[in-house]
Amino acid sequence: MAVTSLNKLSAFEVARRIASGETTAVAVTEACLERIEACDDAVRAWAYIDGELALQQAQACDNKAPKGALHGVPLGVKDIIDTQDMPTQMGSPVYAGYRPGADAACVAQVRNAGAIILGKTVTTEFAGSHPGPTANPQDLNYSPGGSSSGSAAAVADYMVPAAFGTQTGSSILRPSAYCGVIGYKPTFGTYNIAGVKAAAHSLDTLGLHVRDIDDIQLLTSVLVNRSLAPLPLPTGGPRIGLCRTPLWDSAQPETKAAVEDAGVRLSQAGAAVHDINMPEAYSHLEDVRILINCYERSRHMINEWHDYRDLLSDRFCAVMETGLGLPYEEYVAGMRMTEDCRQNSDALFEDLDVLLTPCVDGEAPRGLEDGGNPRFAGFWTAIRLPTISLPTHSGPNGLPVGIQLVGRYRDDDRLLSVAKWVIETLRAPSSCLV
């Protein structure tokens, strides 16, 4: 295989080929850096790249026997996640040039498994709504989504096989759906978030942007310290609940068509697909999640608010003002509501493996100022369930429209198993074009 095509391999395949001697960490890293050199002036997915440092890491891998499952695999790291040898600037001039003293837990774990940290990917300001410079690699005139904009764009544009993202609302799934890659938000608390800049501690979840579901299993084996096992595909067809959610009326035609089309085609392929109606108690989940986000974020960011307010965007200041003005009693009521819904969420999955639901309201918005509607993925973030976005459909402008699968609390393996079956089934040529 030519060096120039190594950047298109999955993380799983990179690890396999390096371990077998078919290629080297240096060759893979060079291919990724070549792609970045060729394309990132336009896409602007990276907040920090040091090619020499990346190649030094790669050469060190090639000079020793593999020590872990990720030996020689390049990864991108969202720029709110600490790295001791690179700046962590958080999309804000407040932290320009800031260098942490230690790696975040997730970075230390993947390094210990042999991964190469290729660089830091662009985040919106403090993983909020104020956009960074990143464009959608599918069409540079459109938003990549936020807040993990650089991670999704870098993976979509074959600059790196996988990258860390974080989600407090829809910050992994939405940019993945817009850019046409797989976004995975595990059950809340699955991956350790020490060393990740806090937004809302009741919601913040570390996750992944990949192009292949097997990469999720590979990275998870390192991040939760378990042996790597292949995903078992469902036997007899999975049981899927088509859940339009109370937000259905706000979805664009392309999203409605994608979800409906997926339901029909999965049923034809052998899945048992049933319509699921949600109890009234879930109707206000996203409004409550936004309240919790504002309240907790305003407390986490009090230092920046008092000492660097002139360096914060107007959008971020509005969130701070909202959060600081919220009474504690409203916050507690919101937390009780989300916890009640989460504890009762098993009832949604009665005789079901997963839920099929909208991921985004439609295609990516035109321009870079609007990162898109967070509500369809944020709805499930509020109750801490595992979710995955799959790039299965297209919209009227030919841009990706993802669907979302939702798993039962702490049932991530089943979610991933069904997701693999779903994406393989829906990769048939007849994707839905609206």
**151 assigned to active site:** no
**78 assigned to active site:** yes
Rounded CA-CA distance 408/345 in Å is 8
**Which strands, in side-by-side order, build the sheet including 354-358?**
46-49, 116-121, 74-78, 162-167, 205-210, 182-185, 387-394, 400-407, 354-358, 239-242, 272-275
Rounded CA-CA distance 29/74 in Å is 7
Q: Which of 148, 149, 151, 171 is catalytic?
A: 171
Rounded CA-CA distance 385/112 in Å is 28
DSSP 21-57: TSS-HHHHHHHHHHHHHHHHHHH--EEEE-HHHHHHH
For the chain, the straight-line distance linking the first and the last C-alpha, in angstroms and rounded, comes to 37
- Nearest CA to 88 among 191, 164, 11, 181? 164
Rounded CA-CA distance 396/280 in Å is 33
Q: Which of 10, 147, 202, 298 is catalytic?
A: 147
| Residue 268, C-beta contacts closer than 8 angstroms, at least 6 positions apart | none
Rounded CA-CA distance 161/405 in Å is 22
| Residue 209, C-beta contacts closer than 8 angstroms, at least 6 positions apart | 76, 148, 151, 152, 154, 155, 162, 163, 164, 165, 172, 175, 176, 181, 182, 183, 184
| Residue 20, C-beta contacts closer than 8 angstroms, at least 6 positions apart | none
Residue 351 CB-density burial (10 A; 0-12 exposed, 13-18 middle, 19+ buried) = exposed
Rounded CA-CA distance 209/184 in Å is 7
**298 assigned to active site:** no
How many C-alpha atoms does 423 have within 13 Å on its Cβ side?
Answer: 22
Instruction: Identify residue 110 by its one-letter amino acid code.
Output: V
Q: How far is CA 78 from CA 157, 164, 247, 352, 367, in A?
A: 16, 6, 29, 34, 22
Q: Which of 78, 120, 185, 197 is catalytic?
A: 78
**Residues labelled catalytic:** 78, 147, 171
